[in-house]
Amino acid sequence: MTTSIKETYRGLYHFSPKEKWMNDPNGMVYYKGEYHLFFQYHPYEMTMGLMHWGHAVSKDLVVWEELDIALAPDENGMIFSGSAVVDWNNTTGFFENEPGLVAIFTHHLEQKGSHPVQTQSLAYSKDNGRTWAKYEGNPVLKHDTFIDFRDPKVFWHKQTQRWVMILACGQTVCLYHSPDLKSWTFGSEFGTGIGFHGGVWECPDLFPLNVDGDPSKEKWVMLVSVGDSQDYVEGSRTQYFTGDFDGLTFIPDVDSKEIRWLDYGRDNYAGVSWSDIPAEDGRRLFIGWMSNWKYANRTPAEEFRGAMTIPREIELQSGKDGSVTLVQKPVRELENNRVPVLELTNVSLQEAEKALSTLRLESYELKTVLASGTSIAFKVRKGGRVETVVGVDADRGELYVDRTKSGLQDFHEQFSGIQTAKLQTQFQGEMIDLHIFVDRSSVEVFANHGQAVITDLIFPDGDSMGISLATDNERLLLASMSVYSLTTSDKVLE
């Protein structure tokens, strides 16, 4: 696929569709050397509407090839969010000589004079996801009372030797199990009296992770996205819980009694993890939709609207106080697209500022390490009156992104703002690291080894490419600072 990079806000290393509207990532699965990324797609308009599943594949999580539409609406309704798995043992009976891919998705059927009906359905592919056949027995799961009954995430539970589905059910999630992906039995429900309920629950995920990489300390992580509401200025975002899961019931840890966000920015929503990553890889890989339902239909756009975050690796780490926190790291594959621009070691503020002042970049990666307890602010995509500030406020113990002067903002009255994330002291040592990814219309910041994460959209003009820094400590020494330009080879000038 060839897409134009002449568009002002098309990211150079973030996936976006060639044209029209995209939102939630769907059906993320790894099979035969390819990462599959399906996505909510409206091929005819620049806003959400008649939803299909778009499809892209990658061999390295960086360079993506957009393929033909995978799933289109039918008599059962539009194609809403869902997941995909490899049916290694042919539990469905769809395959013969080798495994194949099965998509589990929500059919959304509009009805005149009544509320929409949401049911769960199957489709399968025998040619590595290039073409799909819908199961003739669709839908495979219905509910008589839930209006919001959607976004199935399915995985194989080894201990019970059956499929498990986690599904959004209004203000909770429901867990079902099945031997064959066709017949489903209700197991349990989770969410009453716990977590954030400012909007409808959506796009759940459930998976095991080893704390600090120790196989003897396994925990289960549940992700739940929470939709927008008029009463919540931050709009849509994703929360997480840690706990235990026996194949039937999720039991949350004490730490999960507090609301914990996956990302403290405004623009990382509906994210879920890839299925069937090989055991020898061992990573839990994640991607999210880089927007917010507060203003998603109104963001500046030319040929397309919607992009994904950079892919990330999710881990669980224990702090000095014994608490367990979810952390995120950019996938290592991004390093293959680096072009070194600047490398400094043990430099003063003045030296670092002088070096940065010579740079003009629109898409890049910046890494720095400095002493804990120091306030610092990087101004990125800077030019004229435009700038986005990424910084650490030592007095407040916070990471922040200030996009109040980041460029276009008048498309929505609640777009402008400052997002903050607490830097948890139990994860801090004598030094603190900042890892910043800047693209044409986004900033993604990872601090404290991924404990604090902020993802924000920005819309600067094309000439705002300066970088600067400031600090309250004129004697500051930066242990290191690196800048790399980033791009990918799937987008070329037309």
Residue 244 catalytic? no
Give the CA diameter of the chain.
70
350 three-class SS: helix
165 CB-contact burial (10 Å; exposed 0-12 / middle 13-18 / buried 19+): buried
Same domain, residue pair 376 and 242: no
Confidence at residue 494, expressed as pLDDT on a 0 to 100 scale: 41
Confidence at residue 492, expressed as pLDDT on a 0 to 100 scale: 43
Distance (Å, rounded) from C-alpha 480 to C-alpha 486? 19
Residue 430 has pLDDT above 60, yes or no: yes
Residue 2 is assigned to a structural domain of this protein = no
Residue 244 one-letter amino acid: D
| pLDDT, average across residues 418-426 | 88
Residue 67 is assigned to a structural domain of this protein = yes
- Least trusted range by pLDDT, from 43-47, 257-261, 387-391, 403-407: 257-261
Strands 269-273 and 284-289: antiparallel
Residue 263 has pLDDT above 60, yes or no: yes
Residue 1 has pLDDT above 50, yes or no: no
Same domain, residue pair 160 and 184: yes
Look-up of token digits 């003063």: 348
Residue 133 is assigned to a structural domain of this protein = yes
**What does the DSSP assignment read for 69-130?**
--B--BTTBEEEEEEEEE-TT-SSS--SSS--EEEEEEEEE--TTS--EEEEEEEEESSTTS
**What does the DSSP assignment read for 412-468?**
-TTS--EEEEE--GGG--SEEEEEEEEETTEEEEEETTTTEEEEEE----TT--EEE
Q: In what order do the strands lie in the sheet with 418-422?
A: 418-422, 398-405, 386-393, 376-383, 466-471
Same domain, residue pair 312 and 346: no
HSE on the CB side for 432, CA within 13 Å?
25
Q: Report, in angstroms and rounded to the nearest whole number, the Rg of the chain calculated over CA atoms.
A: 22
Confidence at residue 5, expressed as pLDDT on a 0 to 100 scale: 57
Residue 2 one-letter amino acid: T
Task: State pLDDT tens for residues 189-224.
Answer: 999 999 999 999 999 999 999 999 999 999 999 999
Domain boundary among 275, 303, 330: 330
Residue 7 is assigned to a structural domain of this protein = no
Residue 428 one-letter amino acid: Q
Residue 1 is assigned to a structural domain of this protein = no
What CATH number is attached to the domain comprising 290?
A: 2.115.10.20
The separation between the first and the last C-alpha atoms of the chain, rounded to the nearest angstrom, is 12
Which residues span the domain enclosing 215?
Answer: 20-330
Confidence at residue 487, expressed as pLDDT on a 0 to 100 scale: 82
Confidence at residue 424, expressed as pLDDT on a 0 to 100 scale: 81
**φ/ψ of residue 76, rounded to 5:** -90, -10
Confidence at residue 3, expressed as pLDDT on a 0 to 100 scale: 54
| pLDDT, average across residues 392-400 | 94
- Least trusted range by pLDDT, from 380-389, 411-420, 466-475, 483-492: 483-492
Domain boundary among 330, 353, 369: 330
Same domain, residue pair 322 and 349: no
Same domain, residue pair 252 and 350: no
Domain boundary among 304, 330, 356: 330
What CATH number is attached to the domain comprising 425?
A: 2.60.120.560
| pLDDT, average across residues 298-322 | 95
Choose among 227, 237, 230, 224: nearest CA to 272. Answer: 224
| Chain mean position to CA 93 | 33
Residue 151 is assigned to a structural domain of this protein = yes
Residue 292 is assigned to a structural domain of this protein = yes
Same domain, residue pair 296 and 429: no
Confidence at residue 134, expressed as pLDDT on a 0 to 100 scale: 99
Q: In what order do the strands lie in the sheet with 284-289?
A: 269-273, 284-289, 312-318, 324-330
Tokens of residue 49, six digits:
């509407």
Residue 8 is assigned to a structural domain of this protein = no
Distance (Å, rounded) from C-alpha 66 to C-alpha 87? 24
Residue 418 has pLDDT above 90, yes or no: yes
Same domain, residue pair 357 and 260: no
Look-up of token digits 């008649």: 50
Distance (Å, rounded) from C-alpha 32 to C-alpha 65? 16
Q: Provide the percentage of residues in the chain whose pLDDT is more than 70.
A: 97
Choose among 167, 150, 235, 146: nearest CA to 198. Answer: 235
Distance (Å, rounded) from C-alpha 54 to C-alpha 47? 15
Same domain, residue pair 113 and 212: yes
Same domain, residue pair 273 and 169: yes
Distance (Å, rounded) from C-alpha 65 to C-alpha 477? 43
Distance (Å, rounded) from C-alpha 212 to C-alpha 325? 10
Task: State pLDDT tens for residues 55-114.
Answer: 999 999 999 999 999 999 999 999 999 999 999 999 999 999 899 999 999 999 998 878
Same domain, residue pair 89 and 140: yes
**What does the DSSP assignment read for 292-348?**
-TTTGGGS--SSEE--BPPPEEEEEEE-TTS-EEEEEEE-GGGGGGEEEEEEEEEEE
Catalytic residue among 24, 148, 151, 439: 24
Q: Structurally, how many domains does the chain consist of?
A: 2
Cα torsion 286, 290, 294, 298 to 10°: value is -150
Residue 23 one-letter amino acid: N
Same domain, residue pair 212 and 144: yes
Tokens of residue 63, six digits:
């360079």
Residues 484, 368: contact at Cβ < 8 Å?
A: no
Same domain, residue pair 139 and 24: yes
